[in-house]
Amino acid sequence: MEPKLSDYKTEVHNDWCPGCGDFGIVSAIQMALTEMKIPRHKAAIFSGIGCSGKTSHFINVFGIHTLHGRVLTFAQGAKLANPEMTIVVAGGDGDGLGIGAGHFVAAGRRNVDMTYIIFNNAVYGLTKGQASPTLQLGLKTKSLPQPNVNQSVNPIGLAIASGFTFVGRGYSYDVRQLKDLIIAAVKHKGLAFLDVLQPCPTYNDINTRDWFAGLGNIDQTTRKSQPRIYKLEDTGYDPVVHYSSEEEVNEKLTQALIKANEWDAKIPTGIFYQNELIAPYEQRIADRIPNYLENPPADQPISSGGKPITDISKILDSLEV
Amino acid sequence: MQSTDITWVIGGPQGSGVETAANIFAGACAGMGLKIFGKREFYSNIKGEHSYFAVRVSDKKIRSNINNITMLVAFDAETLFRHADDVYPDGAIVYDSELVQIKADEVSTLDEEYKSRLTKLLFSKNKELTVQGMIDLCKDKGVHLYAVSFKGILANLSEETQNPKIKTMFRMLNVIAVSVSLGLLGLPPATLLKSVESVFSTKPQIAEVNKQAANHSYNFATVKFPKLKYTLPVITKEPNTILVQGYQATGIGKIACGCRFQSYYPITPASDESVFLESNEVFEVTNNRPGSTIVVQTEDEISAIGMVIGASLTGARSATSTSGPGFSLMAESLGWAGINEVPIVVTLYQRSGPSTGLPTRHGQDDLMFAIHAGHGDFPRIVYASGDIEESFYDTGKCFNFAEIFQMPVIHMMDKFIASTVATCKRFDPNLIKIDRGKLLEKIEGDDYKRFAFTEDGISPRSRLGLENGIFWNTGDESDERGHISEDPVNRVQKMDKRASKLNLVLKTIPKEDQVVSYGVSEFCVVSWGSNKGPILDALEMLKKEGLEVGFIQIKLLQPFPTDHVKSLLKGVKTIIDIEANQSAQLGSLLNEHLDKKVDYYILKYTGRPMTCTEIYDSLKKILENKAEKRQVLTFGA
């Protein structure tokens, strides 16, 4: 039976604020799972803490709502123990780029085959609007007592520097594009990162839906407001590393970093960088342990009739006196 | 026949091959059928600081070190300064004859605190503050002194083999020292050569030249010196004996009982176990394709425990190994595993805290922390092994506990067990039982509830990937499906469900696995963990004098087996708590749970493990009614 979109929805009451950008992301994930026909028991959503952390409860696949900043660690453990699972990780910007930044960088180095979506709204919503690591220096969103004193981190740039092999950005009010990006990210062999711009209607009164749509972004010649968001694919941008020559890799990394630095008047979305020529972590294990992918930790038989079946005699022989 | 009991100590700067020498010595003696108990002591340092290895050898079962040294081997001055005074009056010192002029002030790694104590000692005996002074001090006591030019031996060997390179192969001084010692102790040379070969088995060329050196030095010693009164007897080797270290025993236990995922962050003294697992990552499985353990080195301990939880959710038996500082970082995730009833095993190799403490030294400082780590109330099991052999079998039990009761298990180990090398009966995997509790293989229908309320408080467990077994987990309080719930009635039901499992633990785990009684009498020692060995050896020493002291070893520390301990201690008049921490952490548990209070404390927190000599002395004081309520042990460099 063909899976339907409704199969991937739970009946859990969604308590996000009206107009929250998170709704679009959950819909896009559900649409992507439906379109890819991933059996419900073969998929898991791992989420962090904060508004975005509740995502796993709204999607009818395995849902693991973890700890603040630690979601990537739980997800990687699960994926490495059962590489057959399709794993999508959902977390906030504070979760992934503040408290969890160390795990973000380490995950990039590993390149485990899964998808990581950051819900980026530049504020800590569930604790009433403090500045998150992606809020620009000097901005004073409405519940900040003083303007933000920190520089913002660049999620795309950090992902590229950390070694993520797929780096993209979506916008939560463009659900169709976001769904396509999620599908591309899930199909990517390796760790995919999606920075999803997601206005917080309650606490971020600067980077609003209208702001992204062009509010205050006046074209000097036409005197009309210009949408800030545009799609890289519409500009003929090619994010993919095809041959892995040093020259090509440098070129693709550099253009991605230049695009990552665009903000304010022109904000690119789409795939910034993709390199499938770098082996995922699972492949690196399989190079050492040939039957790893067919016989991963989750599937290995360990006992028969309550007795261990692992043969430790060789190890014990080596210790015999 | 008089029994053999020899303690051989070799010391030297870290990185100079002290451990290799000790392995050759231990291997040679074990090869003769002798029992071995050896401990490693080292600084938190890569090269240069003083490290030493104390190997005790006997024809009887031994489980600890003693205070005195039968034979000290030194090729540096510091070893003599630090250990020579511990040599038996009729013991021996084998030392490099070139060292005698060295002044204590010239040894930069001798710290001021020790130097001032040393100065006092030598001054009180009217000796100068040099190696010669130290040697004279020992000579006055009657110690046999063997001054050997180690470099001279190298030169002679170089000449004999016509290999000029050998002259400067100072790495071989260790092998030379071991071989001279074994020559003096009268061990057959073939056993020595076999042990050298085995230690260098992966490097045949190095093995060859080391064997030449061993042979040459052995002959040198037997020709040049008269044999010592202490000799190593030839006895029948017991079949199925292994020479093993604690971290290996736990590692092998994990492989045997089906741990298939381990993540860790490097930390002393825990990471040896993870490295061992990775070195043995692929293994044969009876009637199956080869199996493997995935070992992941993570970015920190938070990630290590996060990965373990994730892996466990797929149904794989999963664990991490760490020490105090790393375990501190794991506290939050431990609570997550608790509220979500995830079976995980944390092997906690304790060392001296707080903070970085004495990072390479022994301690049992983390009992209370293991019991209480994490915010909020959630059930966990804290289980402590007493020695190397126990740690193999207990590892299997810990995984069973984790899966049967669906909660985190903290397996308490320590630096003493981790880095002790001892002869053991070959581990028997057939004595391990594997019980996966309510782990489901198959689920029908669409109404699965991960946290379904059941009579015994334990819900059937699905795993990621299992059809019809979809569930949700959250660190928030949740309903039976695992969705967030802040309902007050559900909250009480869920809290009580989880807490009720602790009673089940006490009811289900066999009594003899909770507490081991070695007999109780009027005076009774209560202890936990690696103090077991020195306590049993000390009790044996007392027994020889007709003095009876009982001993119970508590292995299950959380939940605390109050009723069982009470019944075991029924006729006991005097309770003696022995442990390796400053605040008597087990003692406070006993005082909390028992009607009787602890009468005496024997504590050690120098960072060095207890010796049986120390425990014997302090117990004797208690028996003679001459003891303070609290005795603090201090022996050991």
A257-263: long-range pairs with CB below 8 Å, 24+: A257/A157, A257/A160, A259/A156, A259/A232, A260/A154, A260/A156, A260/A157, A260/A160, A261/A154, A261/A157, A263/A136
% of chain A with per-residue pLDDT over 90: 98
Examine the pLDDT at B285 and tell me if it is beyond 80.
yes
Strands (E) located in chain A: 43-47, 62-65, 86-92, 115-120, 123-124, 130-131, 166-171, 192-197, 229-231, 267-274, 303-304, 307-308
- Give the per-residue pLDDT at B298: 98
Of residues B599, B540, B589, B529, the one with CA closest to residue B565:
B589
Q: pLDDT tens across B107-148, in order?
A: 999 999 999 999 999 999 999 999 999 999 999 999 999 999
Query: Hey, is B35 helix, strand or coil?
Result: strand
Which residues of chain B does A33 touch, with a Cβ-Cβ cutoff of 8 Å?
A: none
Mean pLDDT of A264-277: 97
Which residues of chain B does A103 touch, with a Cβ-Cβ cutoff of 8 Å?
A: 299, 302-303, 306
Mean pLDDT of A190-200: 97
**Spatial contact of B421 and B36, defined as CB atoms under 8 Å apart:** yes
Listing from the earlier edge strand, what are the strands of the sheet with B574-579?
Answer: B515-517, B550-554, B523-527, B574-579, B600-604, B630-633
Architecture of domain B244-431: 3-Layer(aba) Sandwich (3.40)
**Same fold: B244-431 with B512-633:** yes
Which pLDDT band holds residue A56 (cuts at 50, 70, 90)? very high
Spatial CB neighbours of B508, under 8 Å, sequence gap ≥ 6: B404, B405
Examine the pLDDT at B273 and tell me if it is beyond 70.
yes
% of chain B with per-residue pLDDT over 90: 95
Q: pLDDT tens across B379-423, in order?
A: 999 999 999 999 999 999 999 999 999 999 999 999 999 999 999
% of chain B with per-residue pLDDT over 70: 100
Contact A308 B30 (CB under 8 A): no
Q: How far apart are CA B374 and CA B332, in angstroms?
A: 5
Q: ipTM value of the model?
A: 0.98
R_g (Cα) of chain A, nearest Å: 21
Examine the pLDDT at B3 and tell me if it is beyond 80.
no
Residue carrying structure tokens 């994010």:
A239
Contact B285 A301 (CB under 8 A): yes
Contact B484 A57 (CB under 8 A): yes
Contact B473 A314 (CB under 8 A): no
**Spatial contact of A163 and A258, defined as CB atoms under 8 Å apart:** no
Q: Measured at the alpha carbon of residue B243, what is the angle toward residues B410 and B414, in degrees to the nearest 5?
A: 25
Q: How far apart are CA B432 and CA A307, in angstroms?
A: 7
- Give the per-residue pLDDT at B2: 60
Contact B261 A65 (CB under 8 A): no
Assigned token pair, B252: 């092998």
Examine the pLDDT at B231 and tell me if it is beyond 90.
no
Which residues of chain A does B281 touch, with a Cβ-Cβ cutoff of 8 Å?
A: 288-289
Examine the pLDDT at B1 and tell me if it is beyond 70.
no
Closest approach of A75 to chain B, Cα-based (Å): 6
Which residues of chain B does A42 touch, with a Cβ-Cβ cutoff of 8 Å?
A: 465
**Domains of chain A, first to last:** 5-288 (3.40.50.970)
Which residues of chain A does B256 touch, with a Cβ-Cβ cutoff of 8 Å?
A: 308, 310, 312
Kindly report the average pLDDT of chain B as a whole number. 96
Which residues of chain A does B288 touch, with a Cβ-Cβ cutoff of 8 Å?
A: 301, 309
Binding-face residues of A in 145-174 toward B, CB within 8 A:
none
Q: How far apart are CA B129 and CA B101, in angstroms?
A: 10
Assigned token pair, A300: 């290995």
Closest approach of B257 to chain A, Cα-based (Å): 6
DSSP string, B564-613: HHHHHTTT-SEEEEEESSSS-HHHHHHHHH-SS---EEEEE-SSSPPPHH
Listing from the earlier edge strand, what are the strands of the sheet with B294-297?
Answer: B294-297, B259-264, B317-322, B345-350, B409-414, B381-384, B556-558
Q: Return the number of other C-beta atoms located less than 10 Å from residue B447's C-beta.
A: 9
Binding-face residues of A in 278-317 toward B, CB within 8 A:
285, 288-289, 291-292, 295-298, 300-304, 306-312, 314-316
- Give the per-residue pLDDT at B609: 98
Helical packing angle, B301-313 and B324-339, nearest 10°: 30
Query: Hey, is B558 helix, strand or coil?
Result: strand
B607: left (phi over 0), alpha (psi -120 to 50) or beta: left
Mean pLDDT of A246-269: 97
C-alpha distances in Å from residue A37, one per residue of A1, A5, A26, A177, A233: 10, 10, 17, 18, 26
Assigned token pair, A275: 């390199």
**Fold annotation for B512-633:** Rossmann fold (3.40.50)
Examine the pLDDT at A10 and tell me if it is beyond 90.
yes
Q: How far apart are CA B411 and CA B549, in angstroms?
A: 28
Spatial CB neighbours of B513, under 8 Å, sequence gap ≥ 6: B397, B555, B556
Closest approach of B240 to chain A, Cα-based (Å): 7
User: Domain residues of chain B, as ranges?
Assistant: 5-224, 244-431, 438-509, 512-633
Q: How far apart are CA B39 and CA A31, in angstroms?
A: 61
Backbone angles phi, psi at B430, to 5 degrees: -70, -15
Contact A10 B282 (CB under 8 A): no
Architecture of domain B5-224: 3-Layer(aba) Sandwich (3.40)
Of residues A81, A76, A85, the one with CA closest to residue A104:
A76
Q: pLDDT tens across B170-207, in order?
A: 889 989 999 999 999 988 999 999 999 999 999 999 99
**Spatial contact of B444 and B468, defined as CB atoms under 8 Å apart:** yes
Q: How far apart are CA B251 and CA B392, in angstroms?
A: 8
Mean pLDDT of A44-68: 98
Spatial CB neighbours of B532, under 8 Å, sequence gap ≥ 6: B63, B386, B387, B390, B553
**Spatial contact of A155 and A111, defined as CB atoms under 8 Å apart:** no
Which residues of chain B does A302 touch, with a Cβ-Cβ cutoff of 8 Å?
A: 257-258, 260, 291, 317, 434
Residue from A73, A103, A288, A299 to probe the interface with B (highest B Cβ count within 10 Å) = A73
